[in-house]
């Protein structure tokens, strides 16, 4: 089996999702750093041949190239046949996909963009992003008051997908004080076997 190659940037929350799952699955890989804070870094003809969207992360596995963090999480769970991380029954898979959608909507447009504005001077409306961040956190908190993990009694890639930007909420100037169930969930994730911090 070929060695996995990850095109990523250490400060990217979306890249962190992939590195976190790779660590938890104990999969060796090599990293190629792409500084996504430089607008042209992912727009070169060479890189756009790898990912026509011109974004990171990108995972290369032999002759397979997978882009988009959600697609990569699904790919890795299926590649390793880890139905604990991604159930293969219709109901279980749909529950995971619901939270992947939250990670790509409320958490992206809220927490991720607020962080990008504060940390990387991106031109988003900070107040609006923070408002959306609180809407997403409230959604998470409501679920996590009912179960320890987003999809029930065990962690799945849904938790891996939603965790990074929640964990990085202080960098978005968004407080988690109002969301006790979310804070407890963040702490649980950080006790999972092979958890790694974003700067590992």
In this structure, is residue 127 part of a structural domain? yes
| Number of domains, the chain | 2
* pLDDT tens per residue, range 142-191: 999 999 999 999 999 999 999 999 999 999 999 999 999 999 999 999 99
Query: Is-contact 118 126, C-beta < 8 A?
Result: yes
Examine the fold and report which residue of 24, 57, 79 is the final residue of a domain before the chain moves on.
Answer: 79
**Element holding 66 (H helix, E strand):** strand 64-67
- 103 in the same domain as 71: no
Q: Per-residue b/e over 111-139, b at no fewer than 16 CB within 10 Å?
A: bbbbbbbbeeeeeeebeebbebbbebbeb
* Same-domain status, 185 and 100: yes
- 96 and 183 inside one domain: yes
Q: Which run of H or E residues covers position 117?
A: helix 113-120
Domain boundary among 48, 79, 110: 79
Tally of CA atoms within 13 A in the half-sphere of 49 that contains its CB = 2
Q: Is residue 113 part of a domain?
A: yes
* pTM, full prediction: 0.95
* Alpha-carbon radius of gyration of the chain: 16
Percentage with pLDDT > 70 across the chain: 99
CA distance 133 to 71: 23
Q: Angle 90-104/69-79 helices, nearest 10 degrees?
A: 150
Residue 129 included in any domain: yes
Q: Is residue 182 part of a domain?
A: yes
149 shares its domain with 110: yes
Its domain, for residue 40, covers 4-79
Choose the final residue of a domain: 31, 49, 79: 79
| Arithmetic mean of pLDDT over the chain | 96
Residue 40 within a domain: yes
Q: How far apart are CA 71 and CA 58, in angstroms?
A: 10
Residue 12 falls inside a structural domain: yes
Say if residue 69 is in the same domain as residue 134.
Answer: no
Nearest CA-CA partner of 73 in 16, 10, 34, 150 = 16
Residue-level pLDDT, tens digit, the chain, 200 residues: 679 999 999 999 999 999 999 999 999 999 999 988 887 888 998 889 999 999 999 999 999 999 999 999 999 999 999 999 999 999 999 999 999 999 999 999 999 999 999 999 999 999 999 999 999 999 999 999 999 999 999 999 999 999 999 999 999 999 999 999 999 999 999 999 999 999 86
Together in a domain, 44 and 103 = no
> What CATH number is attached to the domain comprising 25?
3.40.30.10
Starting at the edge strand found earlier in the chain, the sheet holding 4-8 runs 29-33, 4-8, 58-61, 64-67
Tell me: do 95 and 13 sit in the same domain: no
């Amino acid at each position: 089996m070929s060695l996995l190659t990850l095109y990523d940037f250490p400060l990217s929350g979306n890249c962190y999702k992939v590195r976190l799952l790779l660590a938890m699955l104990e999969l060796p890989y090599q990293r190629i750093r792409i500084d996504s804070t430089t607008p042209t870094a992912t727009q070169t003809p060479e890189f756009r041949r790898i990912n026509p969207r011109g974004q990171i992360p990108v995972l290369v596995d032999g002759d397979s190239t997978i882009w988009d963090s959600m697609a990569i999480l699904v790919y890795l769970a299926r590649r390793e046949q880890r139905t604990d991380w991604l159930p293969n029954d219709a109901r279980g898979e749909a529950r995971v996909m619901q939270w992947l959608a939250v990670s790509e909507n409320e958490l992206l447009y809220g927490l991720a963009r607020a962080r990008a504005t504060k940390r990387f001077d991106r031109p988003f409306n900070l107040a609006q992003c923070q408002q959306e961040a609180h809407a997403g956190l409230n959604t998470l908190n409501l679920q996590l008051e009912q179960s320890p993990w987003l999809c029930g009694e065990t962690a799945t890639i849904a938790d891996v997908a939603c965790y990074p930007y929640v964990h990085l909420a202080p960098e978005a100037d968004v407080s988690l004080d109002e969301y006790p169930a979310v804070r407890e969930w963040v702490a649980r994730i950080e006790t999972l076997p092979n958890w790694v911090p974003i700067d590992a």
